[in-house]
């Protein structure tokens, strides 16, 4: 893979696509969240592990939202700025172009996950769960990030409008996150429970509950992690197949 184009895409994700400013904005949001949590922790009716789980969920949702916005506008922006033709004329395969865009957006998401770590340390101080929380945050977050960035790039390849691509990617994130946010409602039926077992975001949130609330050892949760791994593998595979369809115009 061409290292030059990878560096170019990472640089564009950080600066031209306002990725750096999004990281700063995310840090400000997390700072405000940390300040509120630390000040309300003493009188809160929630246990510290519950507060820690809410902080991780907020961090993951923020990371996925920023990454999907950047990813869904990657190829569409090239078309709208009339730079797609020059990009396709470079001596780089479409698959490598897709991989470079993917790594550029993924790097922003990984930076956001890393930026969140000090805040989780502050929020989880004294709980004895900080190490497990950070491990779950980074591993689960990376698996979700791998999948959702792939989805965003697929939409960016196939669609003509950046607004449409961003809207559809955001809707997909909301639809997949909805069962995780209202698990009590879905647990009322067998079909709802099946959705919770299959939904990647719900699987990630359930992992948090099992480790931080039920104190289940990480090494015994291989079966619970499998849907996340499968979802990520499928999304990346579809992105690889879709890369051949990179063109001057998206599909109607």
User: What are the tens digits of pLDDT across the range 25-37?
Assistant: 777 877 777 777 6
Cite the DSSP H helix spans in the chain.
3-11, 19-40, 48-72, 74-80, 84-88, 94-123, 130-158, 162-181, 183-186, 190-198, 200-208, 222-242
Average pLDDT value for residue range 72-76: 86
What is the C-alpha to C-alpha distance for residues 12 and 233, in angstroms, rounded to an integer?
A: 26
What does 185-208 look like in DSSP terms, one character per residue? Answer: HHTTSHHHHHHHHH-HHHHHHHHH
Residue closest to 115 by CA, chosen among 153, 148, 141? 141
Question: What percent of the chain has pLDDT above 90?
Answer: 15
Average pLDDT of the chain is 81
Q: pLDDT value at position 15?
A: 65
Summarize pLDDT for 111-146 with one digit per residue, the tens: 889 988 888 888 777 777 788 888 888 988 999 999
Tokens representing 174 are 């909301």
Q: pLDDT value at position 43?
A: 43
Contacts of 91 (CB under 8 A, 6+ apart): none
Best-predicted range by mean pLDDT among 2-11, 12-21, 199-208? 199-208
Contacts of 223 (CB under 8 A, 6+ apart): none
Q: pLDDT value at position 108?
A: 87
Question: What percent of the chain has pLDDT above 70?
Answer: 83
Residue closest to 19 by CA, chosen among 114, 105, 117, 146? 105
Q: pLDDT value at position 222?
A: 67
Summarize pLDDT for 172-205 with one digit per residue, the tens: 999 988 888 887 777 778 888 888 888 888 888 8
**Percent of the chain that is helix, strand, coil (3-state, to 5):** 80, 0, 20
What is the C-alpha to C-alpha distance for residues 216 and 46, in angstroms, rounded to an integer?
A: 20
* Radius of gyration of the chain measured on its C-alpha atoms: 19
Specify the long-range contacts of residues 134-137, CB closer than 8 Å, at least 24 apart: 135/218, 136/56, 136/207, 136/208, 136/211, 136/212, 136/218, 137/56, 137/59, 137/60, 137/113
In this predicted structure, which of 19-23, 201-205, 216-220 has the lowest mean pLDDT?
A: 216-220
Average pLDDT value for residue range 106-112: 89
């Amino acid at each position: 893979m061409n290292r030059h184009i990878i560096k170019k895409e990472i640089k564009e994700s950080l600066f031209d696509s306002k990725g750096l400013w999004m990281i700063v904005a995310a840090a400000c949001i997390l700072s405000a969240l940390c300040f509120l949590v630390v000040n309300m922790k003493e009188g809160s009716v929630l246990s510290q592990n519950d507060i820690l789980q809410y902080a991780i969920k907020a961090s993951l949702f923020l990371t996925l939202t920023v990454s999907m916005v950047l990813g869904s506008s990657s190829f569409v922006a090239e078309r709208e700025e009339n730079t797609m033709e020059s990009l396709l004329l470079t001596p780089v395969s479409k698959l490598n172009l897709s991989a470079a865009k993917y790594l550029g957006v993924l790097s922003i998401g990984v930076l956001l996950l890393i930026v969140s770590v000090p805040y989780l340390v502050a929020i989880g101080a004294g709980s004895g769960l900080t190490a497990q929380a950070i491990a779950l945050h980074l591993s689960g977050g990376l698996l979700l990030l791998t999948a959702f960035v792939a989805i965003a790039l697929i939409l960016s390849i196939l669609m003509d409008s950046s607004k449409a691509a961003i809207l559809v990617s955001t809707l997909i994130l909301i639809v997949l996150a909805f069962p995780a946010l209202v698990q009590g409602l879905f647990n009322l039926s067998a079909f709802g429970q099946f959705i919770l077992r299959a939904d990647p975001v719900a699987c990630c949130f359930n992992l948090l509950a099992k480790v931080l609330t039920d104190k289940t050892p990480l090494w015994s949760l291989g079966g619970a992690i499998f849907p996340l791994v499968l979802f990520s593998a499928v999304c990346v595979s579809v992105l690889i197949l879709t890369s051949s369809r990179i063109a001057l115009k998206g599909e109607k």
